[in-house]
Structure 1
Amino acid sequence: MPGRGVYSGLRVVDLTQGVAGAITTMLLADAGAEVIRIDLPGDPCAHLSGYRVWHRGKRRASLDLDADLAEIRALAAGADVLVETFEQAPAGLDAASLSALNPRLVHCSITGYGDAAAHRGRPAVDALVAARTGLHWEARGIPGTTIGRLSGWTDPLADLDADPATAVGPDRPGPMFTGIPWASNAAAYLATIAVAGALRAREVCGRGQHVATSLLQGVLCSTSIAWQRAELPDSESYLGWTTDPRAPKGFYRTSDGRWVQQWVQLPGFMLGVSEGDELVLPERGASPKDADLRISTDYTEMVLLHHFHPQMEAAAARFPAAEWEKVAKAAGVPFEIVRPPEEALLDPALLEDGCVVELPDPEHGAIRSVGSVVHLSECPAPIEKGTVPPGTDTAWAREQAARAPEPTPSAGTDPAAPLAGIRVLDLGLAIAGPYGAQLLADLGADVIKVNAKHDDFWMRTQYSHMSNRGKRSLAIDLKDPRGLALFYDLVRGADVVHHNMRYGAAQRLKIDYESLKSVNPALVYCHTRGYEHGERDSKPANDQTAAALAGTEWVDGAADSGGTPIWPSISLGDTGNGLLSAIGVLQALYHRDRTGRGQFVDTSIAYAHLLNASMAWTTPDGSVRGDRPVVDADSWGISALHRIYPASEGWLCLAVTSEDDWRALCAAVPAVAGKGRGDADLAGVLGAAFATDTAQAWGKILDAHGVPAEVCATAPGTVLFDDPDLKDRGLVVGYRHPVTGDMEMAGRLMDLAGGRGSGRPPLIGEHTREILLELGLSGVDVDALLEAGVVRDGVA
């Protein structure tokens, strides 16, 4: 009912430790579920600043897996969802036991590596997974791109004379440590989708199921833009420069010392408005609408970037950031001042929107943190409860366990794909919209990509390949009344319309929610945006500008320590927005199954980046902030015991967090014995020790002593893409594309009934005839529409 969250009435048991599980259950609580957080003894992540955010709105009970197993099982017996992060589940809490105990339970496991044979048993720590898989390399990228490396491509710009000052990250060789836990964040999005999909399937079949994802699958999700293998990477417009570290990423320092980002770089704007002593918008040439010079994402355009970057850098340095922001808004140019996440949390516009929220806190009175990131018009769920101390609800939880229902016999049928029989119309542009719809295809939906007739360039790119798989393409002119009428006919038989165009454009095309609701009242309409609702709504936005606004570029670039902000290709901005939209659509379909009503769903790229940086919090006056991880200026890590070290050959990553870990390290590296864990010179001592031998040799020593550590992969992607076991298990999938040839990409991101890594992306208009014939048109009618230019057929 209106005014209650979509999951109101559902009970969730949270048996997780770490980032991914905590965020997953926070999102379920934000959607109205009653979450019982069970704080287990010895949680190695209890110190994380994000726990003060991620456990909001939850009841908290302190229980022990051994002494209180019967009570924990009793709580599971009465729950709808149980989320855990066991690498090996205790007896009685394994999937088979929980299914027998409660056949309607949706049981979600989040592990380090899932069923990947070569990696099972390795420490499930975000930084270590990033090191082992090459994610730390992809934080900056490699010259010629990872796609080029994986594809055996000869880089035509190998001799490009690039200024080191424009490169991503510090001026040193090797992988770089990021401040945002990208693998864990991605796993949280994926786990929430898996739970939402299983709950929707339960509405249809009556049974729960065991679903799962892993930090490894989170890596594959976060690298989906950058990690692809193509037989023909030279195909027209396919490869872009955005993941090459040599390419300037649009960061400039202004006269008042602030960093700003303008993306994609528009030289006509930066140079055109700064010709005089004041920033003045000329009559033409400085707006994306009339710029004479544009820089596309095509790989060879990197040469133009380097030509113009010094001039744009000099122009930026002449004026303060606020003046640049003002003129950029007037020109309609994507532009933001880069700021730390705490500054974003103090932004009154974000607070008014609700994507930042102020909640009671037992220690500080109140704190601000990320707020609501998915909106359902029929199921508003204001976030009002803060985080209570561990153990607050232990007695209550024991009472609930004592009243738990007796085990019930199996009921219902085996669950099928969560979206089997669901049709989605995807009008999305670029990545954020299309990626969300692709996730729906992965869950079994029939997704029709509604292309504009002139979408050729974008549909050929690597960005389209990772966000349009498993769809059918209909190319149609919606500005033609005949095309709009055809689209309305599709809407009558559709379940979901999904897009990320500016809403004003949708209204002008008459494909906004109000227009389409009159055609199909049960429609779920999902709109994803760049920013929050309010004054910024009219500003152009993208992954990069939203990341600047929300603070992830600041954190990853070690700007707290004097580093340069970065936008890494592993950024979950566009893709995070797509993941949030998939969560919203699944929740709305769950609600429709129960009520028969459709609704409007919305989310944004800025919401995704606020969630990505959700380890940050601050008091309302900004005087106290959370002790979030801060990366050093050279991007080695966040402390002497949680960082990357160069060895005589290769690199190592440590993640020593407990007293047991410390004792193991002292045994493995005798030089640190007798020193304190907080010694200022500890990094120097460890660095000197590791420099005496190779990373492989040290890795064996550290493993033998049980020290949480990994040898950093020697390159991004190869560890996973060259692993036949991952291909056999569908974690990396291959397909044949008519233009780029044999392709390999990320595959199965979630494990649930009917889930899949969907097939190849379509060619523009490839399925136009097929879809129109399904609508009931005759072949003659389709031929006439093609001849009139109302629709377009695909050609290889």
Structure 2
Amino acid sequence: MPGQGVYAQLRVVDLTRGVAGGITTMLLADAGAEVIRIDLPGDPFAGLSGYRVWHRGKRRATLDPVSDVDEIRALIATADVLVETFEEAPSGLDAVSLAALNPRLVHCSITGYGDAAAHRGRPAVDSLVAARTGLHWEARGVPGTTIGALSGRVDPLADLETGPVTAVGPDRAGPMFTGIPWASNAAAYLATIAVAGALRAREVCGRGQHVATSLVQGVLCSTAIAWQRAEDPDSESYLGWTTDPRAPKGFYRASDGRWIQQWVQLPSFMLGVSEGDELAVPHRGGVSPKDADLRIATDYTDMVLLHHFHPQMEAAAARFPAADWERVAAEAGVPFEIVRPPEEALLDPALLDDGCVVELPDPDHGAIRAVGSVLHLADCPAPIGTGTVPPGTDTAWVREQASREPEPAPAGTEPVAPLAGVRVLDLGLAIAGPYGAQLLADLGADVIKVNALHDDFWMRTQYSHMSNRGKRSLAIDLKDPRGLAVFYDLVRGADVVHHNMRYGAAKRLKIDFESLREINPRLVYCHTRGYEHGARDAKPANDQTAAALAGTEWVDGAADNGGTPIWPSISLGDTGNGLLSAIAVLQALYHRDRTGRGQFVDTSILYAHLLNASMAWTTPGGAARGDRPVVDADSWGISPLHRIYPAREGWLCLAVLTDDDRQRLAKAVPAAAGATGEALAETLTAAFAADTAEAWGKTLDAHGVPAEVCANAPGTVLFDDPGLKDSGLISAYRHPVTGDMEMAGRLMDFAGSRVPGRPPLIGEHTREILTELGLGDVDVDALLEAGVVRDGAA
């Protein structure tokens, strides 16, 4: 129903603890579902600032899954969706029992490690999963890149920088703690996709299913750009410098002390506009991305150029205030933003006008600002207007609901892959667009990558390898009327068109929604952008500039405590936009299954980063704000009890979140008993320095203290685990150019899930796809000869 959201008729039961479950069920509530949250006793995450945001629009009851199991089961019997985070389900709440109770139930489990057998049973805490898997290392990366390390590559730039000092993070050796819970955020995106996919499958077959994801799958999702193993990492254009910590990431301090972000660094701009006493675009031009005389590509060896020009660009930035840089960058059309904390983003009137920031009633503060709508379905708008109520507010109502007799649910037929039989046309560029379409391929869709004729460079890169797997490629000139006619023929039989080019360019090519809807009224058209709707809509944007605008770079860089903002390669900006787009497409297909109508949907990189920083909230005037995690200046952690510690050899990560945990720690480290604050940190630092991390890990495990020994490198713990390869969590394939490849594989578990195949070569399936359209060999040959299409078959 218009104005109520696509899931207005659905009931969701939320039995989760922590970040991932809270965000997943918030997104379902934002889509109109009735979400009933059961606050569970002993929740170690109950104090998170994000709970005031993530539980908005939900009814809240306090029940015990053991003593109140009958009431909870009765409630689940009336539900469409259950989301839970049980590492071991209580009796009667396991997947088999619940499927028998309610065959139409879509049951989603979010765990720490899923079916990663070697890691199962370890604490399901974001920071500890990050420590165990090496995600804390990837926050800054390793010299030579993790791809180089995993691939056994000899680094030709090994002498470019020596010692522990890096351009990313604090001036010290070792892994670094991030303020954004990247693994949990990724798991939330994945769980929401899994639920949306299972709901769509239920529309087709009538039956629910058990779906799942985990924090370790969230790690694999968030590291997709940086964690790959290639037989030939030196193949042409494959390896980039963007994940190498020796490469400055475009942060400069302006004369007023504010940090600015210009990405990808453009020396022609930074040096060209700052030649005089005032910042100005020179009359000769040559400073925009389109006409720059001096630019730095992302190819690995271009890191030498970056190092050469970085000191000059740094000096130029320091001569002028941030606002002046912002003005001249907008004039030149250069991707640029001032880095700001997330609370400043929430006070931005443009974001409030767009709806990606929303003002909600609050029982303690009157009103708060928080992340708002992060995906739009044109035909199913769902205004967010209800805040978060205290735990237990609706306990009596929930018990009454549980006493009602549910209607019998027909069992239906066995579900298949959520997008089996669905065809997607992917016109995406770079990462955000293609990654979203790749997720649709993972769900069973036939995804046709519609390449421009000269996409060779980008299709060879590591960024293409992680965002184009499992697709077929058609290389075609859409500016040629004959090419456009072929594309229109594809549209007639397609279900989804997905892209992230500027919408004005789509209009000029006549592939905008309005044009394609005339050809296929059932089409779901997904457009992903950089920023919000409004004045910034036309600005060039990317993962890095949107992260600056939304505040994630500020949080991860410990800028609250004087640290330097960072853009970690685990950032879910481009990929987060793609993840949101997959959710939007699945919701629109669910709506189409019910109504027969296609629609326009859209998301953005900025929306993803606002969601990534959604633990932040502030009052409308900025007088009060949420107590979000704040990392110390050296990026050890957020408190003496939740941080990384150096041991005599290696590093440890603690996550002591409850009073019981603290008592266990006091038994494991008696000197820490009674100490608080800085004294506690000093005591623990001295204690852990007396022995190895491995030895301390055994001691802490024996006392039941939530802790992990930090992996000694990023990725190896997972990529060298044969069980993960056997289960498909790590995908392996042979590529015609880069040889044997390994990278993130199965990110979600659902009926019909599959391990994605390799990315295509440009134009590899051109003849095959044109033949499916009914063109004969003579017609295809004529198009090839005329240069309208390109055949790149391996």
TM-score above 0.5: yes
Whether the 8 Å CA contact 1:451–1:476 is kept in 2: the answer is yes
- 1:15 is aligned to 2:3: no
Letter aligned with residue 532 of structure 1: E
CA distance in 1, matches of 2:361, 2:163: 49
- 1:360 is aligned to 2:361: yes
CA distance in 2, matches of 1:102, 1:674: 50
Partner of 2:718: 720
Greater mean deviation of Cα atoms: 169-178 or 287-296: 287-296
Partner of 2:425: 425
- Shift, 1:795, TM fit: 5.0
Partner of 2:170: 170
Classify the secondary structure of the residue corresponding to 2:156.
coil
- 1:576 is aligned to 2:585: no
CA distance in 2, matches of 1:334, 1:573: 15
- Find the partner of 1:793 among 769, 787, 791: 791
CA distance in 2, matches of 1:644, 1:407: 52
Deviations 1:324-372 (A, max 9, x none): 0010011010000000000000000000000000000000000000000
Classify the secondary structure of the residue corresponding to 2:37.
strand
Partner of 1:32: 32
CA distance in 2, matches of 1:416, 1:235: 38
Letter aligned with residue 81 of structure 2: V
- Shift, 1:406, TM fit: 5.9
CA distance in 2, matches of 1:6, 1:755: 25
- 1:255 is aligned to 2:291: no
CA distance in 1, matches of 2:122, 2:342: 32
Partner of 2:51: 51
Partner of 2:218: 218
CA distance in 1, matches of 2:408, 2:7: 23
CA distance in 1, matches of 2:489, 2:674: 75
Partner of 1:349: 350
- 1:333 is aligned to 2:331: no
CA distance in 2, matches of 1:585, 1:168: 36
Whether the 8 Å CA contact 1:749–1:757 is kept in 2: the answer is no
Alignment of 1:388-787 (within 5 A): 388-405=389-406, 408=409, 411-675=411-675, 678-787=676-785
Letter aligned with residue 788 of structure 1: A
Classify the secondary structure of the residue corresponding to 1:680.
helix
Whether the 8 Å CA contact 2:164–2:172 is kept in 1: the answer is no
CA distance in 2, matches of 1:376, 1:404: 34
CA distance in 2, matches of 1:539, 1:461: 25
- Shift, 1:66, TM fit: 1.9
| 1:455/1:547 CA distance change after superposition, 3 Å | same
CA distance in 2, matches of 1:673, 1:253: 42
Letter aligned with residue 334 of structure 1: P
- Shift, 1:166, TM fit: 6.0
- Shift, 1:757, TM fit: 2.6
CA distance in 2, matches of 1:73, 1:761: 44
Whether the 8 Å CA contact 1:191–1:750 is kept in 2: the answer is yes
- Shift, 1:163, TM fit: 9.8
- Shift, 1:2, TM fit: 2.1
Whether the 8 Å CA contact 1:101–1:407 is kept in 2: the answer is no
Letter aligned with residue 709 of structure 2: V
CA distance in 1, matches of 2:28, 2:441: 23
CA distance in 2, matches of 1:422, 1:35: 29
Classify the secondary structure of the residue corresponding to 1:74.
helix
Alignment of 1:84-95 (within 5 A): 84-95=84-95
Structure 1, unpaired ranges of 5+ = none
- Shift, 1:771, TM fit: 0.4
CA distance in 2, matches of 1:420, 1:516: 23
Partner of 1:126: 126
CA distance in 2, matches of 1:253, 1:163: 24
CA distance in 2, matches of 1:165, 1:518: 58
Partner of 1:67: 67
CA distance in 2, matches of 1:345, 1:412: 45
Letter aligned with residue 720 of structure 1: L
- Shift, 1:161, TM fit: 3.6
CA distance in 1, matches of 2:566, 2:3: 40
Whether the 8 Å CA contact 1:30–1:372 is kept in 2: the answer is yes
- Shift, 1:165, TM fit: 7.0
Q: CA RMSD in A?
A: 0.9
CA distance in 2, matches of 1:445, 1:108: 21
Whether the 8 Å CA contact 1:30–1:381 is kept in 2: the answer is yes
CA distance in 2, matches of 1:692, 1:67: 45
- Shift, 1:59, TM fit: 0.4
Partner of 1:136: 136
Classify the secondary structure of the residue corresponding to 2:450.
strand
Classify the secondary structure of the residue corresponding to 1:638.
strand
Classify the secondary structure of the residue corresponding to 2:616.
coil
- 1:238 is aligned to 2:238: yes
Classify the secondary structure of the residue corresponding to 1:210.
strand
Classify the secondary structure of the residue corresponding to 1:553.
helix
- Shift, 1:40, TM fit: 1.1
Alignment of 1:286-301 (within 5 A): 286-301=287-302
Letter aligned with residue 212 of structure 1: A
Partner of 1:109: 109
Partner of 2:313: 312
Partner of 1:207: 207
Letter aligned with residue 769 of structure 2: I
Whether the 8 Å CA contact 1:162–1:306 is kept in 2: the answer is no
TM-score by length of 1: 0.99
Letter aligned with residue 435 of structure 1: Y
Letter aligned with residue 328 of structure 1: A
Deviations 1:124-162 (A, max 9, x none): 000000000000000000000000000000000000147
Partner of 2:384: 383
Letter aligned with residue 336 of structure 1: E
- Shift, 1:754, TM fit: 1.1
Whether the 8 Å CA contact 1:200–1:590 is kept in 2: the answer is yes
Partner of 1:369: 370
Deviations 1:454-477 (A, max 9, x none): 100000000000000000000000
| 1:164/1:302 CA distance change after superposition, 3 Å | farther
CA distance in 2, matches of 1:693, 1:225: 35
- Shift, 1:73, TM fit: 0.2
Letter aligned with residue 147 of structure 1: I
Runs of 4+ in 1 over 3 A off after TM superposition: 161-166
Letter aligned with residue 459 of structure 2: M
Classify the secondary structure of the residue corresponding to 2:397.
helix
- Shift, 1:164, TM fit: 7.6
Partner of 1:196: 196
CA distance in 1, matches of 2:674, 2:605: 48
Whether the 8 Å CA contact 2:161–2:246 is kept in 1: the answer is no
Structure 2, unpaired ranges of 5+ = none
Whether the 8 Å CA contact 1:61–1:390 is kept in 2: the answer is yes
CA distance in 1, matches of 2:696, 2:414: 48
Whether the 8 Å CA contact 2:164–2:173 is kept in 1: the answer is no
TM-score by length of 2: 0.99
CA distance in 2, matches of 1:636, 1:596: 53
Letter aligned with residue 575 of structure 1: T
Letter aligned with residue 771 of structure 1: I
Letter aligned with residue 307 of structure 1: H
CA distance in 2, matches of 1:438, 1:755: 13
CA distance in 2, matches of 1:166, 1:366: 42
Whether the 8 Å CA contact 1:48–1:628 is kept in 2: the answer is yes
Deviations 1:91-115 (A, max 9, x none): 1000000000000000000000001
